[in-house]
Amino acid sequence: MKELVFATNNSHKIEEVKAILQDRFILKSLEDIGCDIDIPETGDTFEENANQKSSYINKNYGLDCFADDSGLIVESLNNEPGVYSARYSGSRDMEKNISLLLHNLQGVNNRNASFITVISLILDGHNYYFEGRIDGQITEEKRGEEGFGYDPIFIPNGFTKSFAQMSAEEKNSISHRAIAVKKLSDFLLGR
């Protein structure tokens, strides 16, 4: 069975990706390979940040790996927070990030937003990219207790529940990460 490193220590992301990939691959985290540094994400795009992480692991550990960068873009905020989604408020405190985003949208009618994930896969010395995107709306207040990140304030188009009100299975069937991971999985299975 193919072994891949997912260049993250985010347990929520690892759980989501394992659920999507099921038992088709042996998935290892950074912790599993003994990597305990916080790999810098200094790029201006999701692609650059994902590639920084996958390239670091491939270069320093010699392993096939993939990394993602994900974020929320809000149309009326010039696509903020974008690549700064995890530290929008200047910290990694998601409560502060959500509060700032909702504050910045006060009185704004256009609440169109998208979640985007870009995966950078380095396999046998080649780099491949896979993107997932889901469009939706930002709520006026938090809804739900499940999920993580901006899930409590994002309702995907065609749904009435926020990501945080959905079961893990429901979210994993439609999320931006699920779309990108499905493309990754289809690519790997087709090789």
For the annotated catalytic residues, the residue numbers are: 69
Distant-in-sequence, close-in-space partners of 10: CB < 8 Å, separation ≥ 6:
none
d(CA 47, CA 81): 16
Among the listed residues 84, 56, 52, the one whose alpha carbon sits nearest the alpha carbon of residue 70: 84
Query: Mapping DSSP to helix (H, G, I), strand (E, B) and coil, where does residue 188 land?
Result: helix
Among the listed residues 156, 149, 153, 158, the one whose alpha carbon sits nearest the alpha carbon of residue 135: 156
